[in-house]
Structure 1
Amino acid sequence: LNEATASTILCPVTSGDTKTFQSFAKYASEKGPGITVPTIGDTYTVGDAKITILGLNAGDDTNDTSIICSLQNGETSFLFSGDAEYPAEQAVLNSDYASLLKSNVYTVGHHGSDTSTSDAFLDAIDPQYGIISCGKNNSYGHPDAAVLTKLKDHGVKILRTDLQGDITCKSDGKTVACEPSKNRDADAMVPGTKAEDKSEADQAAAAPAPVPQSSEYVLNTSTHKFHRPDCRSVAKMKDKNKEVVNESRDQIIAQGYEPCKICQP
């Protein structure tokens, strides 16, 4: 949202306690109309395609609040289920919208976690492609070996961001083609490794660094750079673009800001 505007911003909730969510909500209002909480059955158009909301806020677990939606483009369709786990998946299977689950492309639930992608859910989707978005060497062990096997047994072509970078899918309304940006022939069946399964040396290398202490920085909300308070650029900054924060460097970068090359905060 630092880089783009949006005419519609969907989220299952409108408030949250984390700084990340509060930043998201702030920019949702500055760069768009704010957050919209959809209702099951709502539809939205994207060019010639249509998005239908199939499920959200289906359980007490935060993951099960995830929006589950289908995007239909002509005779092709894509299913997005966020971090939804078995209870949220089952809620859609039990609903009047279960028939819309069948899709050419499935963005595999919860980064390939074993708490998502139930057999019944996968049977209903019957996808050609399964796209797994997960971080390289992530500490959760995503994707899970059982989920990978389940996808393979269903004849799904698996593509993974941790091994193959960005995955681009194109639909002409009749067929879909998905291509990785690298490592086309990567072995997609290699499961993630949980931290406790690694050697002590690997665990030490993967251990998170100590959380940096918060410091005072000055943000330029126009250029999206941040500075030390004594940086000469701060004196030239317009007041309307100036925001003083007391946060860690990593927190500020996570919000989309870049460090000033002059003061190197």
Structure 2
Amino acid sequence: MEVLMRQILSIFFLLTLFIVVLLSCSEPSGPLDVSNPTESILTVTLEETSSLHTNAVNRVSVFAGELELEIDSKGDYQAVAVWTQCPDDNFSSYAIYRSGTPGIASNPGSADTSVVFSSVSGTAWIDTGISEGNTYYYAVRTMNSDDLDSWSNEDSVVVPAAAPPSPSILTGVYTGDGPFGQITLGWTECPDSDFYRYNLYRSNTPDIEGNPSSAEIVSTSEEIGNTAYEDNEVEGLTPYYYAVETLNESQLSSWSNEVSVTTPDLTPRLTVFFIDPSHNDYYSGDAILLRTPDNNYYLIDGGDRAGSWSCGIEKVLPLLDSLGADSLDGIVATHPHSDHIGGLIGVLENVPVATVWDSGFPYSTATYLAYLQAIDDNGSDFITPRRGDLLNWDENLTVECIHPVEPLGGDANNASIVLRITFENVSFLFTGDLETTGGENVILSALSQGLIDDISADVLKVGHHGSSTSTSYSWLQAVDPDYAAIEVGYGNPYGHPHTEVVQRLENYGALVYRTDQDGTFILSTDGNTLEVYP
């Protein structure tokens, strides 16, 4: 019985085991253990591309994987995105998205850029395609082999707006001379490394910055150090406005201050400076400087010299310097007396002189010999003009030699060079120390014979400092001057000008100007009218 019970229990155990095995084989399998990939943590930083070159090596050592480093970026900024590595075994890829609006994970289609990285260690990207003045949003999408994804946090960068270049400070001044107008402009140099170009604008109305289309660009330069311009295309009595536009490589611009320069009257003029030869109540003489319409300079006589004093050095050279003239186109030595050529020696020793016209009267004083030596040392051409010669001083002028004529005779005063200079409708007659007998009457005789066409003049340089030996009434009738200019030193021992000569001039109706009373005075003409500046 006991044996039977053990057999029954064994059969029951086996049967139970069979059922369990059977049930286990027929039971369906449960769900797989799957999940989304681990989210990355994203950090995006903004940096200027100028720092990229110095940090590139260090950055490459940190960024692993499929990093595309663009050193020569076109922008001034770049965004550097770095995210944590996915730890999952079933990692498949990363995709980093960029958009101009937030919410990339909910709307990936709004992104304008996406880059895929298939290596699990590819956890960095440099975005060089950003531009100034914009905000960019970024998010990283991680995919696994089960085609499940997860999104990182969203990060953003704000790219600052581009800054305009530093503005220049502009200055302008009129630097023309005579009829030659010129405005000189200068401005401060742009200190910015992204400098591109200067544009200098000019207008006849103000507010160039507010209305650039009303102005013209007169100069443009891409050289950062080119900060000056001379505007020679200007007209007289006209206001000109200038402003400098500075551009940088981003084509942003800034404007300088606006300057205004008004030009003077640039009508071509013949201007004659009757220089006062006075010194210590003694010296007399002639010293007359002419500036022609074409801005050439000629000196008729140069006053006296004695001891350490020279009219040429003390009076003529400072006047030339004030006019911006560093040379003379010519000198006329009317005759060899010291009070006419003494001062010329200092002039010849200090400035280049192209040509000297000399009377050719033979003279052997120490002053005259020193004057000849100075001409030789200067390298000037030496010419002795005679009646009928035309001197080529300026295409706008007619410069006629009225006197002397061969033979010269024995009087240096009456061998003086006499010039009639005409500018359109205005004439000057320069007479040196010409006297009535042996000088004026020779010219009047030639005039009556038709050997000279005309000696009339609006301005008469009175002969021989207003001595009674000159300026006869017949002479005044032939010249018919409106103005009489007397070159004479204050307190001279000769009593020049003599009262009867001054009275004769005034009775004739001429306006008399004299250096002993008026100092240096100026007569200037546009060819039609005369202006006097005593």
TM-score by length of 2: 0.33
> 364, 375, 382: which is aligned to 1:35?
382
Measured after TM superposition, the shift of residue 117 of structure 1 is 0.5
Aligned partner of 1:91: which letter? V
Query: 1:3 deviation in Å?
Result: 3.1
CA distance in 1, matches of 2:506, 2:409: 29
CA pair 99-167 structure 1, distance change in 2 beyond 3 A:
farther
Question: CA contact under 8 A between 1:59 and 1:88: conserved in structure 2?
Answer: no
**Partners in 2 of 1:30 and 1:51 — Cα distance?**
27
Matched residue SS, 1:159: strand
Equivalents in 2 of 1:98, 1:114: separation in Å? 25
More strand per residue: 2
AA aligned to 1:18 is: T
1:32 is displaced (CA, Å) by: 4.1
Higher relative contact order at CA 8 Å, sep ≥6: structure 1 or structure 2? 1
Q: 1:59 to 1:14 in 2, by over 3 A?
A: closer
Match of residue 455 from structure 2: 101
1:53 corresponds in structure 2 to 401
Q: Is the 8 A contact 2:361 2:415 kept in 1?
A: no
Q: Counterpart in 1 of 2:430?
A: 80
Point out 4+ residue stretches in structure 1 off by more than 6 angstroms: none
Determine the C-alpha separation between the residues in 1 that align with 2:532 and 2:499: 22
Does structure 1 residue 139 correspond to structure 2 residue 489?
no
CA-to-partner distance for each residue in 1:236-259, whole Å, 9 max, x for gaps? Answer: xxxxxxxxxxxxxxxxxxxxxxxx
Would you say 1:63 and 2:426 are equivalent positions? no
Shift of 1:97: 5.1
8 Å CA contact 1:84, 1:116 repeated in 2: yes
Q: When you count helix as a share of all residues, which structure comes out higher?
A: 1
* Distance in structure 2 (CA, Å) of the matches to 1:46 and 1:164: 29
- Which structure 1 residue ranges, 5 or more long, are not aligned? 181-265
Greater alpha carbon shift after TM alignment, 46-55 vs 137-146 = 46-55
Q: How do residues 168-179 of structure 1 correspond to structure 2 at under 5 angstroms?
A: 168-179=522-533
Counterpart of 1:27 in structure 2: which amino acid?
Answer: A
Alpha-carbon distance in 2 for matches of 1:4, 1:101: 33
Q: Of 11, 18, 21, which aligns to 2:368?
A: 21
Instruction: Quickly say closer, same or farther: Cα 1:14–1:91, change in 2 above 3 A.
Output: closer
Instruction: Tell me the percent identity.
Output: 31
**May I ask how many residue pairs the two structures share in their alignment?**
180
Does 1:160 pair with 2:508? no
The residue number in structure 1 matching 2:443 is 92
- Aligned CA RMSD, in angstroms, stands at 1.6
| Aligned positions of 1:246-257 closer than 5 A | none
Superimposed CA distance per residue, residues 25-53 of structure 1 (whole angstroms, 9 cap, x where no aligned partner) = 11222224343111210011222212101
Partner of 1:114: 468
Per-residue deviation, residues 89-135 of structure 1 (Å, max 9, x unmatched): 11111113544211011110000000001111111111111000011
C-alpha distance in 1, partners of 2:397/2:457?
14
Read off the aligned partner of 1:3 and give its amino acid letter: N
Distance 1:14 1:146, change over 3 A: closer
Larger Rg: 2
